[in-house]
Structure 1
Amino acid sequence: MFSRRKLSGRILVSQLAILGVTSVIGFVLLAFAQRAQIDHVKEQQALSIAQVAASDPQIVAAMSGGDPKPGPHGPVQTAANRIMDATRARYVVVIDRNKVRHSHPLPGLIGQTVTEPVVALDGQDHFFIDNGSTGRSANARTPLKDSSGRIIGEVSVGIDERNVFATLLSELPPFALYIGAALAVGVLASYALAWRLKRTTFGLELEEIAGLLQDREAMLHGIREGVLAFDQSDRVSVVNDEARRLLGLGTALGSRLEDLMPEGRLRRALAGELGPDEIHVLTDSHCLAINRMPVVLHGRALGAVVTVRDRTEIVGMLRELDSVRGLTDALRAQQHEFANRMHTLAGLLELGEQEQALDYAVELASTDRTQAAKVRERIANSLMVGLIVAKCTVAAERGVRLTLDPASKLSADPGHLRRLLTVVGNLLDNAVDATTGSSPANVELLILETPHAITVRVSDSGPGVPDEARAHIFEDGWSTRPDRGTARRGLGLAMVHRLVTRHGGEITVSQGPGAVFTVRLPLPDTEPAPLGAVFISAPPVLDLEAGAAVSAGNGGRPRTTATTMTTTATTATTTPTAGTNSGRTRW
């Protein structure tokens, strides 16, 4: 029945039971203490009566001259009766040195010898609770002396226990009233506490609170998203294992954000300073989607809940998909151009111009080989060559001229290869985006390897970086252009900046018009990326020799796609006779 009561009822009943038990115990202890105090008072009172009796002249004279015949009518008994009547003492017993009683309230004991020693012969006063022949009493004994001061016996006086109990009963009601008042105050305090707890727990009962706790623990450790909860003072009150892994947190409970991580976009996103929408933040290891929602219950602000999702693989796949779509559009244009070439050859052959058709075919084949050879002369690494040619194809489709600086030089196995692919791919994407639609639309790439460093410089003829944006250009989520297709903007430059600075390099951007991004990675590469390392950018490139589509984020290992693309499908040429767009780039 108790377990089925409401929480407030349980608290009230428990508090009342505790107060009742403690009040009874306190009252009993107080009664015992008061009883001891009254006993002590009665002992002192008995001692005073004994001292009066020991100085009574009739008793002193009778005991000094010797009481030849102690009895109920002797002088000592007569004086003792007079003193008992006057003081209401239970007994006044006079004993000589030979332990013979000369007075006693029981006449039959007068003249008898006591069994216990005569303690007052030592000349000291004694008082205690005595359980003698007349019952329990507060007893006091004092030495009886003659006129010369010689001890001739003792006087023992007792006060009836009934007098002690009556005094105790007369003093206990005020204490009982005090305890009752304290109990009433405790009842009111218990009721107020129960009401307060009920309000604090929003009316939830104990079983409901326990169920909520179990559900919360199951949810926190069962979901694959990071969850943080902040209380009203912005201290971490809840954090699950996934949040600790994604954010690199240790023991975070009870801590503030400023104590857990340094100033930056990640901390501002967790604190809700970047707005109510979902925020994407790059860390050294993850691309995180962060969402912060305030918690309000019954009109009371209780804090906020932050969810953290790992979007690294998804964003990487989306960017790769967007790059593949760009290549698909470029290859579709190549298909049209290839069809124009075939139509030209077919027309020449139909007209009987076999020699001119042969010269045209030889010219096309030599042009393609010359283009690939020019790139190979400066860049020895096949992956980087494939990336550059692929970006050239995409740029040509968008009407942008992409050129390679003649001073470029890169070995077949350079340091920071995978990072270089990421850096070059992202910088070229940004440069092509910035120059698309402008006139002229030019992008120039320089890759220079020296014994001490590898320098990458990408310059474009676009509008450049605004002065007010230079302080934010490398922050994740910052972009001057809307999202394109599936790829979320504002991550490329932030990722390049993190990648470069994390490995001891530096990245700078010049003032407009046009933008020049310069990246410097020191050599030797003391921390090469492991095989299979995946970067978010991972732009697809074309292997000119193997003729297979590979990914820069695939550790340099070929990954064959469903469609094999040959070298001739990687470049865009200008063929005036075929009537193609003269704005496309030609190597």
Structure 2
Amino acid sequence: MITDILISNSVSENIRRHQEEKAQIVARTVSKSHIVINALEDKQNLTEVQEYTKDIQAATNVMFIVVMDMNGIRMTHPNTKQIGRRFVGGDEKLALKGKEYVSTSLGTLGKSVRAFMPIYNEKKEQIGVVAVGISLESLETALGRSHKNIIIVTALGLMIGIIGAILLARYIKKILLGLEPFAISKILEERSTMLQSVHEGIIAVDNTSTITLVNKSALQIFKKAGLSQKPVGMKIYEYMPSTRLDHVLQSGQPELDEEQTINGVSILVNRVPLIVNGQVVGAISTFRDKTEVNQLAEQLTGVRMYAEALRAQSHEFMNRLHVILGMVQLKSYDQLSDFIRTLVDYRNQEFGSITQHIKDPALAGFIMGKLSYAREENVDLSIESSSTIPEPAANKTTHELITILGNLIDNAIEAMADTVEKTLEVTFSYQENRLTIEVFDSGPGISSELQKEIFKKGYSTKGENRGYGLYLANKSVKELGGELTIDSKLLLGTNFHIQIPYEAKEVGK
């Protein structure tokens, strides 16, 4: 109902405006006619003017076209008996003073919307007025017809929406195996409780042998065996060649109390297929180190990182909500309006500045994400460009640029974790098919000795399983045929300078 009212009002206003514009256009056309101008000046050929306006009236389907002199005396009228009489309605006075306007009034032919247009001769002297009227009755008929169409379309749309909602609900329920939301929530809670309470290591794969879940107890055993601590997303047979979990996927038969050796570490394993509706959709393995008792599995792999990321992202948002709540409680509505407007304008300016200079949507979106991440880490990240950076001709260039910038920005933010001033500046420059990027941070700097080592694969001063960021960034620069240099001094910050060939994408391709 509300939609119908809003649309009807909008359509009604548009129809009325259209009819008013139509009347003005017809009036303006007649006012420029030499037939009308000559007749007004010479007081002759009135029959010709009457025929002329009659033809225009028929062609445009208006209610009337009346040409009058400066005394308001009609020279034309659909009813020839009204010719020579004074114009009726009283709304023509301003037109006789040179004004153009639209009004509504009652005349000899009934109530109508009227457009008045002054008539001037070649000396720019006003010699009369033309009035064009459109019947309000016909206008209301058009509005009623449009309202009826709106009701029909709204009803049809509502029916389609209801049918679509029913079909979508059935489809979703089928995907969810007929479970209601509360049942799914209960299952997830039970699953989480189970994983946090077991002493065994747990690893699960989907039907393509891709690792989807590993708990902490399992990672502790894998670490002891010298395996990577980030197995999720890898193929089980690539990550752990001695496994038989992929065989369980193929056979659909469990393997219980099997002994397995992973790089010299002995574990006792149970492997079970996951079967839904008679189909093997995955497999899960539980195992324990035979030489020691595992500690309680605290969290699933990745859950802590996910929770911390959500907490970091919501921190700034919650602070702003607290400010808004305080202003509402203090009834500081003007300050609240300014505060919200400032937040919106800041976001729009930030987005506009990046998209104005960086035309590659993927790269621009990536940088917007890094700006949000930097704010969460309390780092002042600024993005500057002295020129417009066009889209690259090859998609590979975008991929490598994201790798370069992502690693350099993340490395810089991490380097400034313990510094008071956290400033990070990324500068772009594009000229003659060559892109220059500078990434400067106000961190503790890098000694000249370490500068010779930081680009080596796996080299890091931050612990094990680190040291890949700068290696990958330098590798991507070389893949693009560019050069990466570093200028850093202790306590004075670090500046990475990148130059790469950059062929712009041709317009229209």
TM-score by length of 1: 0.37
* Bigger Rg over Cα: 1
Structure having greater relative contact order (Cα 8 Å, sep ≥ 6): 1
